[in-house]
Structure 1
């Protein structure tokens, strides 16, 4: 069954003296990919933080998150270059919500990791240190971690920024398949190609919904 829609209601967030979001209201549909767009400073990352539950609104809120599982994939630049894990470890971390950190994966989770690696073209790299692979391959691994989580809500920050065309195509196809599974999929982006492949677009300007 698809996840319930997320209803963002009069969401306002202040960060110190900065009004990051102001009276944002929108409905984010399940079984669809929503592209979150806007210039730097428009409030995209702040909105993702609220949806992920890592930032508390100043006022307003989001209906539909209660009881929902959420996976949040940060920008590649937010992950340390020397993180001592393999590509396979990175994917497997997506299953931690179900099995616990560094616990032995169940057969179903191992199959899911293997299938996700195949989908993202990472199978030959599963034993490689994450720090040794290219930027595009690292981005695929981070997105793969979100896919393995099988969450009701998948949030991804700039999944196609600074990657090659093949990685962009692979990642966007993977996000579309996750939406077909019934998840709410939201990704922040500046990339026209990513916007074109989305089912819906939510545009922010200076912390408000455009238009």
Structure 2
């Protein structure tokens, strides 16, 4: 049986545990990973505001470095100012340094296209920054997003996800100041397994959420 009805349900369930770890009285910028993380983040912002917190929604755009032979295998990920590489995934896919450089160049091209299609992220103001996604499997996407957000030198950086691979969670949790995960899986199945409705989202949904909750 699925653990969450949909991404909005997951976001609402994160509200209480997240409010407990956020610095008291600080304004909060909830940064979602498009596309699913933005929808989770919108529900979280709604819930935090209902508790009297000052909260707004933003996004950070990340693109995975993909293996041409194993399209489901992420070799790494890139943002505008950061990059991570999974040595284990590269070994599994038989990708050497030269080939990885080519694949990274393609990922950066796709990153530019994705960024152009979405609202430009706003530099977080003083206060807490909370990164949100709809799930965490390998952790590479979240890891590079954390590195990107660290370039803005936030006063406090946290992470909240509804479900995560237990091993990956321990790794990325060490990179942030506070973290919330509702379910940890060992081994982690596909993120979609924990959702009754994991509908593929379009950019217009992301734009609408940002327009309402930014």
**Counting helix residues as a fraction of each chain, which structure ranks higher?**
2
TM-score above 0.5: no
- Which TM bucket (shorter chain)? 0.3 to 0.5
Greater relative CO, 1 or 2 (CA 8 Å, sep 6+): 1
More strand by share: 1
